Structure 1
Amino acid sequence: MLASLLIAAVSGMRAMTPLATVANAARRGELPREDGTPALLAHPLVSAGTLALAAGELAGDKMKTAPDRIILPGMVARVATGALAAASLAPRKQRTLAAVLGAGVAAGASYVTFRARAAAMRRYGQTATGVVEDAVALGTASLAVRAAR
């Protein structure tokens, strides 16, 4: 369940990174099949699509016009991807619990990381803090997938 909670926390920072990480791991066959990661995530088009969306989000986050992550559409995306990614990394019998916890963790992490980023931006600027946050998000997502193996 730790992997599920980690990947959900990443959703608080970047909505598409967790889904792209899980989809690509599923496509490469790196996730346990007995846990039943949704086959749709392993499809090459889904994997490529989530990667493209994640790359766009990483680039868009550095723009001055990027909306706050805690606005309603952003929160809906983070909660949804947090729940789906968390459930995908959980053992089959714990999927529902993982999805519920994942949604909550994603929502909570959104607010925590929003406040932390806002404070850091005042000192270091938007681009520098965004790059650091990207590195934390990508590293944590990779760690979560490795923990799920």
Structure 2
Amino acid sequence: MKVPTLLWSALIGAIASARSMTPMATLSAARLLGRATPGTLALLDRPLFKYGALAMGAGELAGDKMKTAPDRTVPLGLLARVMSAGIAGAALAPRGRERAGALAAVATAVPLAYVTLDARKKAMTRMGQTRSGLIEDALIVAAGIAVVALAVKPERRG
């Protein structure tokens, strides 16, 4: 089955809508495991970027449970989603289509941020901030890992 050209980019944008740093963290983990992305992205080969993205992904998961955590739709939250989705969407797009991949990811991430926020607020009223956040984390991280695992391939040696 042939996967539509920008599907992985759009799906990683959906991941960014709920957790802005998860796309970069999952891509960084894939690169550390020797996996190549379809699109070219030099940032993924810089150790500071790879480890920094992993740390930011973990920090976001912890910070989201704090009572003072801002909504994902505040300007800085949306900016983080735009940047993360754009970078990840470009990396998961076919070579030569990185810009289109970035646009597909951002076009998915921004409107879905409002949808995922609404769903999270409803879940919070039923089960509380921490429990709803942990469930959302598990779903989003698992989805991010799945999207990246399906989109990347082993890096060629030689």
TM-score range, shorter chain: over 0.9
Provide TM-score, normalisation by structure 2.
0.88
- Gaps (5+ residues) in structure 1? none
Instruction: Work out the percentage of aligned pairs sharing the same amino acid.
Output: 46
CA distance, structure 1, for counterparts of residue 137 and residue 39 of structure 2: 29
Specify the code of the residue in structure 2 equivalent to 1:86.
G
Q: How does 1:40-119 map to 2 (within 5 A)?
A: 40-119=43-122
**d(CA) in 1 for partners of 2:149, 2:8:** 8
CA–CA distance in structure 2, aligned partners of residues 25 and 55 of structure 1: 15
The alpha-carbon deviation at position 125 of structure 1 amounts to: 0.3
Q: CA deviation at 1:119?
A: 0.6
Query: Could you list the per-position Cα deviations for residues 19-49 of structure 1 after superposition, in whole angstroms to 9, with x for gaps in the alignment?
Result: 11112212322124xx343132122221111
Partner of 1:63, secondary structure, is: coil
Q: What is the aligned-residue RMSD (CA, Å)?
A: 1.2
Deviations 1:78-125 (A, max 9, x none): 011111101111111221111111111110121110000001100100
Identify, as 1 or 2, the structure richer in helix: 1
Take 1:12 and 1:2, find their aligned partners in 2: how far apart are those partners? Answer: 15
SS of residue matched to 2:97: helix
How many Å separate the matches in 2 of 1:84 and 1:11? 11
Residue in structure 1 matching 2:24, options 19, 37, 42:
19
Contact kept, 8 Å, 1:31 with 1:148, in 2: the verdict is no
Question: Tell me, what secondary structure is at the counterpart of 2:35?
Answer: coil
Distance 1:95 1:136 in 2: 27
- Cα distance in 1 between the residues matched to 2:115 and 2:123: 12
CA distance in 2, matches of 1:41, 1:5: 19
Partner of 2:148: 145
Cα distance in 2 for residues equivalent to 1:63 and 1:79: 23
Gap runs ≥5 in structure 2: 1-5, 153-158
Moved over 3 A (4+): none
Aligned length, in residue pairs: 147
Distance (whole Å) between structure 1 residues aligned to residue 17 and residue 39 of structure 2: 24
TM-score if structure 1 supplies the norm length? 0.93
41-50 or 107-116, larger mean C-alpha shift: 41-50
Distance 2:95 2:149 in 1: 17
